Structure 1
Amino acid sequence: MESNEKTITVSVEMITFKQELYIQEAVEGVLMQQTNFDFELIIVDDCSPDSTAEIIEAIIKNHPKGDRIKYFRHKENIGMQANGVFAYHQCNGKYVALCEGDDYWTDPLKLQKQVDFLEANPDYVLCFHSVNILNKDGTIVEDFITKVPENYETLETLARLGNYIHTPSVVFRNIIKEFPFEFELSPIGDYFLYMMLAKEGKLKYIEEGMAVYRYGVGVFSSSSDLSMIKSNLKLFTCLLSYFNEEKINKIIFKRQLESVLALELSLHSKYSDSFVSNHIFFVLLKIVKCNYKFPKRMIKKIYYKLKY
């Protein structure tokens, strides 16, 4: 007996929260894709308090390709990483493409090009491409945020240089069976995801601008330098807990120490009138920096300083 179910080649994962101004353009960029395979659009709304839900429901009802959309809306806000994990587990495709609700695709052949490459090159696990940047003043310019390095294909390069992959450019093999607990604790999910994937194969860069990233709109676009340093520290801590490869852990640990130094310098600069260099906060920060690999020694020193 033949099954009437379609085989889904690509699941497009779109998480959204309070993006009523942008969600329609994001959805239409996906639905305009021209492919020789079937794809689905998984939209997961993290309990948006604005009209995001109404806009999505109208698209599903009125768009000629609205039946490709599977829409989920949480009754309570669960947070970005948990929302992303939930969305991923709704994806049935052989491949997963990413496009958050405030970005959009511009090339109708984007999915076809990336899937064609991954189908022909089984040693590659992820394919990404260049994007254009939409500034707050409405101008669209070339990417000034990231620079794709030489030897970009490997886990080691990604670990050493940080994230040079824009989320709306990504298509990857649907191979992650389970997310580690560290993923949901990490304040930065996309880079953590790419690091997980890079363990399993190479990365491919296509030098074509096939999507637009909105600058100054996302969660981290408007974060202060201090907030970014704190987020990086949490990210590196989670990655150190997750990875068990000495070579990669050494790279991550070095970057974490650099973030500790940046935090110290930032606080000295920001609060120089309030703190002196031997303030207990900076003493404790120095203990953490020097004894991170020896937690028992670190705890004993902190206890001694606080007690005496």
Structure 2
Amino acid sequence: MSDKTRNISVLLVSFNHQKHIRQALDALIEQRFDGTIELVVADDKSTDDTLTIIREYEGKDARFAFKYLDYSENLGITKNYKRGFAACTGEYVAVLEGDDYWTSPLKLERQAEFLRDHWESDLCSVNYFVYVEDSAQISARVAASQGYRLISARELIADNIVGNFSTCMYRRTALTRIPEKLFDIKSYDWITNIVIAKSTLIGFLEEPMSVYRLHGGGVWTQTPHIEKLKAQLDLLPAYDELTEFVFHDDFEKLGSHLRHVIKVSQIGHATEAVSQPVLRAVPAFVRYTPPIILMMLKLIVPVAVKDLLSRVLNRSRSR
């Protein structure tokens, strides 16, 4: 596809990723992409050898032009993404976080092809593996296939199938339309993609081509699970306002389900004798809660609640 390939930017976002950054960069260098690749390095003032390792890769592949953003100040993840997106000049912008990695050498090519052929989409994502490093558990986000699906903003609110920035490639023009106020609150991949999907569809390639790594060194992984759920719940009103209340009912429904999850999570501090009203509530949040949340919940809650969840999950899936 060399005559059809457009130039792209890869936004490499890193912070103290020395343990994992080589795997990310090796996978990036192995991409079979014929166009030019602008590599924008948005390091958020790492205090380890992350930047030293990144510099070792300069000159290894003539397709890559390294662009380093200022790393003298720790900006935090939201502001770091803001300046990273603004620094990218390619027609298409892919993201690679320094503790994730890609599993297919055709990832960039296939995403660029999809965006070139599908003007209904400003974002192309891929299926991915969730890798829980500490327990060596790995599983695909959805069943693998060679097909694709189109996802709306409402579907993404109900289930964040896109999962993380490392699966994403955007038209740069879509990134320039992101409202400034999105970067004034805690904004991660989920709300960024909802905002973009407000006026477009998301293309989701069902072949797994990326790995989302959950590890002890990650800021998200270190946050207690119940606190993650509460933080997400607290942000929903701001996200609702950010999207001009177009998806108000969808955010309200999600908020209701999150409150159910929080309630059931908290019973882990009680005895195994869970009341019947709570038992009746479990199937509802199992049915509506994104699989990634259930997966992480099962990793951290007490054994009694794990057993309860397992029984209900098995019962729900058999219906």
Q: TM-score range by the shorter chain?
A: 0.7 to 0.9
Equivalent residues of 1:18, 1:48 under 8 A apart: yes
Which secondary structure does the structure 1 equivalent of 2:41 belong to? strand
Residue identity in the other structure for 2:123 = L
Deviates more, 1:105-114 or 1:62-71: 62-71
Residue 124 of structure 1: CA displacement?
Answer: 1.3
The 1:34–1:239 alpha-carbon spacing in structure 2 relative to 1, beyond 3 Å, is same
Q: CA offset at residue 16 of structure 1?
A: 0.7
Q: Match for 2:105: what amino acid?
A: P
Equivalent residue in structure 2 for 1:121, among 118, 126, 139: 118
Q: How does 1:216-295 map to 2 (within 5 A)?
A: 216-217=215-216, 218-246=218-246, 248-260=247-259, 262-263=261-262
Q: Residues 159 and 151 from structure 1, CA distance in 2 versus in 1: closer, same or farther, beyond 3 angstroms?
A: farther
Equivalent position SS for 2:155: helix
1:123 Cα deviation (Å)? 0.8
TM-score (norm 1): 0.75
Return the alpha-carbon distance in structure 1 between the equivalents of residues 97 and 225 of structure 2. 23
Is 1:177 the counterpart of 2:176? The answer is yes
Count matched residues. 263
For 1:266 and 1:63, the matched residues in 2 are separated by: 49
Tell me whether 1:143 sits opposite 2:140 in the alignment.
Answer: yes
Q: Which amino acid aligns with 1:37?
A: G
Letter in 1 for 2:16: K
Is 1:92 the counterpart of 2:94? The answer is no
| Residue equivalent to 1:3 | none
Counterparts of 1:32 and 1:151, CA distance in 2: 26
Q: Indicate the residue corresponding to 2:98 in structure 1.
A: 101
- Other structure's SS at 1:127 match: strand
Q: Which residue of 1 aligns with 2:281?
A: none
Comparing 122-131 with 30-39, greater Cα deviation is found at 30-39
Query: Does residue 9 of structure 1 match 2:7?
Result: yes
Is 1:208 aligned to 2:207, yes or no?
yes
2:45 to 9, 22, 47: 47
**Deviation, structure 1 residue 92:** 0.4
Distance 1:173 1:45 in 2: 22
Q: Report the Cα distance in structure 2 between the residues aligned to 1:33 and 1:265, rounded to whole angstroms.
A: 44
Residue type of the partner of 2:122? V
* Aligned counterpart, 1:70: 67
Looking at structure 2, the residues matched to 36 and 145 of structure 1 have their Cα atoms a distance apart, in angstroms, of 29
Q: AA paired with 2:90?
A: G
What residue in structure 2 maps to residue 27 of structure 1? Answer: 25
Q: Which amino acid aligns with 2:14?
A: T
Amino acid at match of 2:244: N
- Alignment check: 8 A CA contact 1:16 1:44 kept: yes
> Counterpart in 2 of 1:189?
188
Which amino acid letter does the alignment assign opposite residue 104 of structure 2?
D
TM-score by length of 2: 0.72
The aligned amino acid for 2:230 is K
Q: Is the 8 A contact 1:133 1:142 kept in 2?
A: yes
Please identify the structure whose Cα radius of gyration is greater.
1
- Specify whether residues 220 and 152 from structure 1 end up closer, same or farther in structure 2 by C-alpha distance, changes over 3 A only: farther
The 1:145–1:207 alpha-carbon spacing in structure 2 relative to 1, beyond 3 Å, is closer
